């Protein structure tokens, strides 16, 4: 690829910070005066967390486009860490929050079947993803530095062992969080859980 074309691509990548910033500022600005909802409303907590991850994603992207940075992180574990930052950290968190907000309203329920599971899922997903992404980012930087220094490839692979261990444990936590989400959605859809039981008990007392 011609050098000038690479430069044009880098310029446009960096310029992406402008539209991204407007989206993030708009989302966070909407919360002005209502930050207490981060504690009271799990759907909003998921969405705002996804917004923060989105901001980090879109700052990482243009930064990675710079030649000096790309020279280090390209083809390393940093790249899947960045990809998961968008796919799980941003869009999955926003999807979780969206479903938790919309589903009870679609089914005419006061909340999800197991509200306590929402809290558990949020923290398990957040801790799991933080460990997952961080291990990939740090491992990727170590990997890239070793390659630049001329370290043999297999030595670079062996050096990733502790990061892969953290990644595996964190990945299990992420998977558990998704299972909790799926079960809560199922229980809400079929009319099970503590919220449904409380509603039926209240109806029986009223009768």
**What is the chain's mean pLDDT, rounded?**
91
Of 19-23, 138-142, 200-204, which range is least confident?
A: 200-204
Output the pTM of the full model.
0.88
Q: What is the mean pLDDT of residues 137-166?
A: 93
Q: Percentage helix, strand, coil, to 5, in the chain? A: 85, 0, 15
Question: Residue 111 maps to which CATH number?
Answer: 1.20.210.10
- Is it the case that residue 58 has pLDDT exceeding 60? yes
Q: Are 11 and 67 in contact (CB under 8 A)?
A: no
**149-158 pLDDT tens trace:** 999 988 988 9
Number of structural domains (the chain) is 1
List own/partner pairs for 13-21 with CB under 8 A and 24 or more apart. Answer: 13/61, 13/62, 13/65, 14/62, 14/65, 14/66, 16/58, 16/61, 16/62, 17/58, 17/59, 17/62, 20/54, 20/55, 20/58, 20/59
User: What per-residue confidence (pLDDT) applies to 133?
Assistant: 97
| Of 189, 83, 204, 59, residue with least CA distance to 140 | 83
Q: What local confidence, expressed as pLDDT, does residue 156 receive?
A: 87
List pLDDT tens digits, range 163-199.
999 999 999 999 999 999 999 999 999 887 666 566 6
How many CA atoms, within 13 angstroms, populate the side-chain half-sphere of residue 128?
Answer: 21
Residue with tokens 């479903």: 99
Number of H helices, E strands in the chain: 11, 0
In which element (H, E) is residue 173 found? helix 161-190
**What is the extent of the structural domain holding 38?**
3-206
pLDDT of residue 207: 59
Percentage of the chain beyond pLDDT 90 is: 79
The more confident residue out of 41 and 204 is 41
């Amino acid at each position: 690829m011609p050098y000038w074309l690479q430069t044009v691509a880098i310029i446009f990548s960096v310029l992406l910070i402008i539209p991204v910033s407007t989206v993030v500022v708009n989302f966070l600005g909407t919360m002005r005066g209502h930050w207490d909802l981060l504690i009271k409303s799990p759907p909003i907590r998921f969405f705002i967390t996804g917004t923060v991850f989105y901001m980090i994603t879109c700052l990482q992207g243009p930064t990675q486009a710079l030649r000096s940075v790309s020279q280090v992180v390209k083809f390393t574990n940093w790249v899947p860490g960045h990809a998961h930052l968008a796919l799980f950290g941003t869009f999955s968190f926003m999807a979780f929050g969206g479903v938790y907000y919309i589903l009870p309203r679609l089914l005419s329920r006061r909340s999800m079947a197991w509200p306590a599971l929402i809290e558990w899922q949020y923290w398990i997903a957040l801790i799991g993803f933080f460990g997952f992404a961080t291990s990939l980012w740090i491992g990727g930087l170590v990997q890239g530095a070793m390659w630049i220094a001329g370290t043999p490839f297999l030595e670079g692979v062996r050096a990733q062992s502790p990061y892969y261990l953290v990644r595996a444990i964190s990945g299990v936590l992420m998977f558990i969080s998704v299972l909790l989400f799926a079960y809560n959605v199922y229980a809400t859809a079929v009319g099970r859980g503590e919220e449904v039981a409380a509603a039926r008990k209240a109806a029986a007392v009223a009768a």
